[in-house]
Structure 1
Amino acid sequence: MDVKVTQNKKSNRLKWASLSIILFSLILWLVLQPSGASKVNKNDIWTGTVQRGDLQLHVSAYGRLKSKTSRLLTAKSNATVDEIILKPGALVESGSVILKLTDPLISQALSEAKRSVNQSQNQFTQLEINQKRELLAQKAQLETLRSSLESAALEVNAQQQLIDKGIVSNIDYQRSLLEHRQLTRRLKIEQQRIEQLRALHIANLKIAQSNIDAQQEIQNAAQSQFHALTVTAGITGVVQSLSVEIGQSVSFGQQLALVGSTDELYALLSVPQSTMQQVKLSQNVAIDTRGGIINGVVSRIDPVINNGSVEVEVVLNSALTHNARPELNIQGKIDTGLRKNVLYINKPIGVEQDQSAHLFRLNQSIDEAKQIKLQFGAQTHDKIEIISGAKAAEQFILSDMSRWQAHSTLTLM
């Protein structure tokens, strides 16, 4: 009996030893075997190849084309929008009608002003007729005096020849001389009256004309207000915005529409603050209007940051594209420099310039990707410089691999 117990104990120890060896081998195999979490499908990632060469740096931004010459159309009086002829986006000439307004008070004022001008002109005409009649009467009286004076002169001359013969008395002769002198003085007075009458007529006509001019100014002002009810573009360009609707009441000075010239445009780009330090004055810019490229130069940088962006003004120095117009949405690419003979790659997701990051480098021969630390430098919109950690022709995973950062190696399936 003692022998059997000893054999059973030995047999149990052998079984447990065998199970321990098997269990240890299984755990070791599981540890050495890549886990399911470190396996990545090749179709779920996108990769890029490290290249060496010159890297043209640029900053991309979005914005709009703006007109250098704009005309703000405002209401010249209180009125009501009666008709909208043209809407935003319409091409216009200087005399193109955009809006029509109505105001009964202006129409009434214009009618009254025209009536006042006609009355003043009629009064002027009547004054001229009366003056001519009065002047003719004075001239007729002057002619009568001249005739009387000529008759008196004949009388004096005849009596002078007869007085020596005693035919005419000296008293009659002296009376004739007195009458002649009186008529001569009256003639001079009458001539002076006519001159004064002419001067008076001229003064009265000036007063009447000034009254006409005053009434005409009132009419011109009313006419100008009436014409202002028909709102025209004033310049050749495009209607950029319209601030009113049909039937709306507008007050004096209220904005009605904005018209921008299509001949002279500039670009206004909104550059992200994160890349703003690369932008400087006089840098070349390519403006994409989706109808072609327009070249330009950075001319002004707004010092104010608005919603994380800075406005950059670009002067256009090449021919405009066929679709260029004010307020057109555009994309701009600002050339910020050139890095010669550097390593670069398409910009991986989550990587920023002048920072380090871990990327998975591909090993095509064994379908494996190993995590490598890289130091990055300057970047463009879609490319970034590699300062250290990579060599030309090496391939890296560019997709978002944040969920795999705990793994040093990935297996590609």
Structure 2
Amino acid sequence: MDIRREPKSKKKRWLYVAGGIVAVIVITVALGRLGPAAPGVDRSTVWTDSVSRGEMVRSVRGPGTLVSEQIRWVTALTAGRVERILKEPGAEVDSSTVLLVLNNPDVEIQALEAQRQHTAEEARLTDLRTRLENQRLAQEALVATVYAQHQEAQRTVVNNEELYDKGLISDFELKNSRDRAEELAIRVDLERRRLDVMNEAVESQIGAQKAQVERLRSIAEYRRNLVESMEVGAGVDGVLADLPLENGQWVISGEVLARVVQPGRLKAELRIPETQARDVAIGQVALIDTRNDTIPGRVVRIDPAVQAGAVLVDVRLEGPLPKEARPDLSIDGTIEIERLSDVLYVGRPAYGQANSLVGLFKVIENGDAAIRVTVRLGRSSVNTIEIVEGLEVGDEVILSDMSAYDQYDRVRLR
């Protein structure tokens, strides 16, 4: 006969299922709370530095060039065509050295015309002086003649008065002689006054003609100088730095023909980034790096304008110049801003700016890991930056760019 079996209880099964579900939920929550695993970073690829306390030198750095303190720009005084180039850049020149020769027939013709006009006016001056002198001499002769006639008339009056007293001549004849003497006295005065006026006129006319001659002489000299200027000279002792011309090229008046520098007197022109130039001041100490040597200097001028994101700073060189120093040599310059005593500082991180709050990875566990810490930065220099808070002396931090790990607060160093 069949035996009826009792059905198995499902209660235990449901307990197992519920327990499994709870276990899965607990594990999932726990893993969610753990966060992402710390990534690994090759220690040889990062740059680290330790926090120090002591004196920190604030400085700014910028590229630049060596330039001559005295530069002579040779310009054309007149238009012309380049006939011959006698010197090439790099040649040593003195004040009398001819660099090139220009040619312009029009300038030579103008010089000859100006000389002709000057010569003609000088001839007119000579003719005027001769003519006026003859007129003056003729007037002096007339004054002498009238004066002699006046003297003779006075003697006649004296003689007629004696004859009138003796009754030998009439009263009419005596009065006529007296009138004649008075007339000649007036004529003598008039002719003398005319002579004075003539003398004054001679001086004014000669002076006016001399001024005209002098004016034309200046014009002729100017035209002659233009002709002479077509033999272009250096003007100063130095080195010919640039002569950007070719034979046959036409140049206009005022165009730059050449540049002459004095290599023994150089200064440094540094281009300091505008964000760092606000602390630069005249008189600050500078150090110029020529790649092979260094030259001490001092800031002497700061350009008030910003060009291409940089401020031009002139540095006077105070030390002996190395052999490689020459105009247009590329250099790097460092300007000392100030010295800060007893401050915390570290090497400047790749992404840290002065007076900002940044996150830096501090090395822990004997160099096996690094954790992100918040650090407040202070004043900065070229290679170092002040630590205001967030780090202590001896802390080692990563200065390399760690932006690829911004989502992590911890990294492993291997």
Identify whether the pair has TM-score above 0.5, normalized to the shorter chain: yes
Cα distance in 1 between the residues matched to 2:216 and 2:307: 54
Cα distance in 2 between the residues matched to 1:253 and 1:68: 23
Q: Confirm or deny that 1:78 pairs with 2:109.
A: no
2:27 partner amino acid: S
What is the Cα deviation at residue 105 of structure 1? 4.5
Structure 1 pair 220–369 and aligned structure 2 pair: CA distance change class (3 A): same
2:59 partner amino acid: H
Tell me the matched-pair count: 319
Aligned-pair Cα RMSD in Å: 3.6
* Mapped contact 1:45–1:398 kept (Cα < 8 A): yes
Name the structure 2 match of 1:201: none
Structure 1 pair 215–373 and aligned structure 2 pair: CA distance change class (3 A): closer
Name the structure 1 match of 2:13: 11
Q: Secondary structure at the match of 2:404?
A: helix
Name the structure 1 match of 2:93: 92
What is the Cα deviation at residue 298 of structure 1? 1.4
Q: State the identity as a percent.
A: 30
1:406 partner amino acid: Q
What is the Cα deviation at residue 292 of structure 1? 2.2
* Mapped contact 1:109–1:222 kept (Cα < 8 A): yes
What is the Cα deviation at residue 411 of structure 1? 2.0
Consecutive unaligned residues of structure 2, counting only runs of 5 or more, are 118-213
Name the structure 1 match of 2:377: 376
Name the structure 2 match of 1:361: 362
Describe how 1:40-51 pairs up with structure 2 within 5 A. Answer: 40-51=41-52
Moved more, 333-342 or 251-260: 251-260
Structure 1 pair 80–11 and aligned structure 2 pair: CA distance change class (3 A): same
Name the structure 2 match of 1:307: 308
What is the Cα deviation at residue 249 of structure 1? 0.7
2:369 partner amino acid: E
Q: State the Cα deviation string for residues 269-313 of structure 1 (Å, max 9, x = none).
A: 222221122211211111222342222211222222333322222
Cα distance in 1 between the residues matched to 2:86 and 2:348: 50
**Partner residue of 1:25 out of 24, 27, 35:** 27
Describe how 1:250-269 pairs up with structure 2 within 5 A. Answer: 250-269=251-270
What is the Cα deviation at residue 109 of structure 1? 7.5
Cα distance in 2 between the residues matched to 1:40 and 1:328: 42
Cα distance in 1 between the residues matched to 2:218 and 2:307: 49
Moved more, 61-70 or 390-399: 61-70
Cα distance in 2 between the residues matched to 1:52 and 1:262: 44
Q: TM (normalized to structure 2)?
A: 0.66
Name the structure 2 match of 1:191: none
Cα distance in 2 between the residues matched to 1:279 and 1:322: 29
Cα distance in 1 between the residues matched to 2:263 and 2:393: 48
Q: Secondary structure at the match of 1:365?
A: helix
Q: Secondary structure at the match of 1:353?
A: coil
1:28 partner amino acid: A
Name the structure 1 match of 2:121: none
Q: Secondary structure at the match of 1:53?
A: strand
Q: Secondary structure at the match of 1:25?
A: helix
Structure 1 pair 216–366 and aligned structure 2 pair: CA distance change class (3 A): closer
Q: State the Cα deviation string for residues 139-192 of structure 1 (Å, max 9, x = none).
A: xxxxxxxxxxxxxxxxxxxxxxxxxxxxxxxxxxxxxxxxxxxxxxxxxxxxxx
Name the structure 2 match of 1:273: 274
Describe how 1:196-345 pairs up with structure 2 within 5 A. Answer: 224-345=225-346
* Mapped contact 1:87–1:242 kept (Cα < 8 A): yes
What is the Cα deviation at residue 331 of structure 1? 1.6
What is the Cα deviation at residue 231 of structure 1? 2.3
Cα distance in 1 between the residues matched to 2:27 and 2:92: 83
Cα distance in 2 between the residues matched to 1:366 and 1:12: 51
Q: State the Cα deviation string for residues 215-235 of structure 1 (Å, max 9, x = none).
A: 999997676444433323222
Q: Secondary structure at the match of 1:58?
A: strand
What is the Cα deviation at residue 58 of structure 1? 0.9
* Mapped contact 1:240–1:327 kept (Cα < 8 A): no
What is the Cα deviation at residue 6 of structure 1? 1.7
What is the Cα deviation at residue 349 of structure 1? 0.9
Name the structure 1 match of 2:129: none
Q: State the Cα deviation string for residues 330-381 of structure 1 (Å, max 9, x = none).
A: 2211111111222211110110112221100001436111111112122211
Moved more, 22-31 or 12-21: 22-31
Structure 1 pair 249–411 and aligned structure 2 pair: CA distance change class (3 A): same
Cα distance in 2 between the residues matched to 1:249 and 1:296: 43
Cα distance in 1 between the residues matched to 2:35 and 2:311: 53
Q: Secondary structure at the match of 2:276?
A: helix
Consecutive unaligned residues of structure 1, counting only runs of 5 or more, are 117-212
Cα distance in 2 between the residues matched to 1:214 and 1:350: 72
* Mapped contact 1:236–1:262 kept (Cα < 8 A): no
What is the Cα deviation at residue 46 of structure 1? 1.9
What is the Cα deviation at residue 73 of structure 1? 0.9
Q: Secondary structure at the match of 1:314?
A: strand
Cα distance in 2 between the residues matched to 1:222 and 1:405: 76
Q: TM (normalized to structure 1)?
A: 0.66
What is the Cα deviation at residue 5 of structure 1? 4.4
Cα distance in 1 between the residues matched to 2:54 and 2:6: 85
Moved more, 389-398 or 226-235: 226-235
